[in-house]
Structure 1
Amino acid sequence: MRFTNTLAAFAASFSLAQAFTSGFNVAANNPDGSCLTTAQYTTAFQKLQALPQKIKTVRLYASSDCNQLALAVPAAISTGTQILVGVWTEDEAHYTAEKAALQSAIQAHGHSWIYAISVGSEDLYRGDTTASTLAGQVYDVRGMVRQYGVTQPVGHVDTWTAWVNSTNSAVITAVDFLGMDGYPYFQYSSIGDAPSVFWTSVNNTKNVAQGKPVWVTETGWPVSGSNFGAAVPSIGNARKYWREVFCKATSEIDIFWYVYQDYSSNPSFGIFNSAGNAIYDLKSC
């Protein structure tokens, strides 16, 4: 019996160790610029959970913008969805408002709805801040949320090219996880080469991660828009990228697809159109 229990415990721990999260990026704005309502967040979360992959984790980019957490957290709680929270770091007044919005959401709703917290998004890629400043903000937010019993990881999201830049190593030291944005489309890759280009960016990021978890926080392929070198937007190519990258990556790494809906953008990466229907088949994972 002891041997059987030991095997069962080992199997359970191995299974847990191999579990990875699949999520979606969800924007705060409708195409007309208006902010999503709680009802619209609820609809979005329900649609994602209705996918064959049963997506129950979403990434939001900010906390105070469009009252994002105030409106999205009730929808997350009612649907059993967890949120990778975004805290915008620029400028100081905005950063202060973002922290206040996160604090208010935790005080009002606890923290079981939090999957993780990202302090900033592509700040290093844009050159809008320094690594030391951003690292200080990661420590600052982590210290704030720990006072409320939040144990979920606090990290940062940036392009893989920013992570492998050695001048940004202070941020790697500060974070609990590295959120990596990688788009073979923007690297002028053909759809045939896209899986190789994607995994090269992941592995390059892992090589500098100081042993910390690397999550793919954004990746996708546009269904429409302009060509980017050999990269051609189309529904067929987006479907192929979904199957050959997202579907395979779900067993190897935490990954968040870009994006739930953006049908008025150029290029457009959205999976759901203006009628709320999936633009291509998502059943193949």
Structure 2
Amino acid sequence: MKLITSITAIAAAVSGAEAYWKGFNLAANKQDGACKTREDWENDFNRLKGLPGHFTSVRLYASSDCNTLQNAVPAALNTGIQILVGVWAQDSAHFTREKDALSAAIQQYGHDWIIAISVGSEDLYRKDIDPNQLAKQIYDVRGMVRNFGLSQEVGHVDTWTAWVDGANEVVITASDFVALDGYPYFEGSSIEDAANTFWTSVQRTRDVVNRVKSGTWVWVTETGWPYKGETFGGKAVASQQNAQTYWSNVACDAMNNMHFFYYIDVDYNQSPSFGVLDSNFNPIINLQC
């Protein structure tokens, strides 16, 4: 595992005292589809703090949808949780609502709850937005929060395959941080080769980012392995044992090497199912690292 060793060395060289954000992606809807209330968010946050690892960081996908920030921010302040904020980039009217929701939350609650801000999520992978337009939106949001006196970074989340596409380099240039989503399962990797597949995607993204905008940090904002579902690509088997192996061999290592958010906290009975907690919030796998 020469590649993993080199990644570890890079992280260690940053600073022996460097602390990385580690947490989970959280949906704004409950399992029945209803929007989460402030109490629901507070319950979610306290539950994460009680897990092995005592997670105090979360990634949220949007700001206005389901009144996410309106309900989640006071819950975060009550529980000591900090948020990687999502601002949905598609549709200009939606984007404006997202900015307004973020602006309102900052004006009401300050900004200590903000880890960073991601403008968009996998828009480049889906080809739902022109890279130049997305870059403008990143500059737009950064300008807005800088006017409030915020220094938190503003960037974008996308698949690693989108980041290594030369057509999207304008977005790297616009971003304070680059966040990748990488799923060896969806690349048809066997669980035995999953760690190598994951770290290769990280390194390939870092190589491009360092060339385009040296010094920009690469985060991982989504990865995981399903505990149930179909076999993907002939080799990627969804099983509880493989989900455990992925957590132990990939997630635990990555948490010590970079800012890292796992997908996802609660199983919503989808297929494939990536949750680490069942519908009663009991652990599906052992989350001890």
Counterpart CA distance in 2 for 1:68 and 1:242 is 28
Task: Tell me how far 1:94 sits from its aligned partner.
Answer: 0.3
Q: Aligned residue for 1:193? A: 193
Give the letter aligned to residue 52 of structure 1: P
Q: Aligned residue for 1:235? A: 240
Task: Tell me how far 1:236 sits from its aligned partner.
Answer: 0.8
Counterpart CA distance in 2 for 1:41 and 1:235 is 27
Deviations 1:209-259 (CA, angstroms, capped at 9, x unpaired): 122100000000011111102111111111100000010111111110000
Counterpart CA distance in 2 for 1:263 and 1:91 is 27
Instruction: Please say if 1:20 is aligned against 2:20.
Output: yes
Give the letter aligned to residue 248 of structure 2: R
Aligned residue pairs total: 271
Deviations 1:4-28 (CA, angstroms, capped at 9, x unpaired): xxxxxxxxx9333x32221110011
Q: TM-score, normalised by structure 2?
A: 0.92
Counterpart CA distance in 2 for 1:46 and 1:31 is 18
Task: Tell me how far 1:261 sits from its aligned partner.
Answer: 1.2
Question: What SS class does the counterpart of residue 193 from structure 1 fall into?
Answer: helix
How is 1:80-159 mapped onto 2 (pairs within 5 angstroms)? 80-159=80-159
Q: Which runs of 4+ in 1 moved over 2 A?
A: 13-16
Instruction: Please say if 1:33 is aligned against 2:36.
Output: no
Task: Tell me how far 1:167 sits from its aligned partner.
Answer: 0.4
Question: What SS class does the counterpart of residue 275 from structure 1 fall into?
Answer: coil
RMSD: 1.0
Instruction: Please say if 1:251 is aligned against 2:256.
Output: yes
Instruction: Please say if 1:223 is aligned against 2:224.
Output: no
Deviations 1:89-115 (CA, angstroms, capped at 9, x unpaired): 110110000000000000110000000
Question: What SS class does the counterpart of residue 241 from structure 1 fall into?
Answer: helix
Deviations 1:174-210 (CA, angstroms, capped at 9, x unpaired): 0000010000000000100000000000000000112
Counterpart CA distance in 1 for 2:37 and 2:229 is 28
Unaligned runs of 5+ in 1: 1-12
Counterpart CA distance in 1 for 2:29 and 2:277 is 14
Q: TM-score, normalised by structure 1?
A: 0.93
Question: What SS class does the counterpart of residue 15 from structure 1 fall into?
Answer: coil
Q: Aligned residue for 2:6? A: none
Q: Aligned residue for 1:207? A: 207
> Percent of aligned pairs with the same residue?
56
Task: Tell me how far 1:263 sits from its aligned partner.
Answer: 2.6
Q: Aligned residue for 1:4? A: none
Range with bigger deviation, 266-275 or 160-169: 266-275
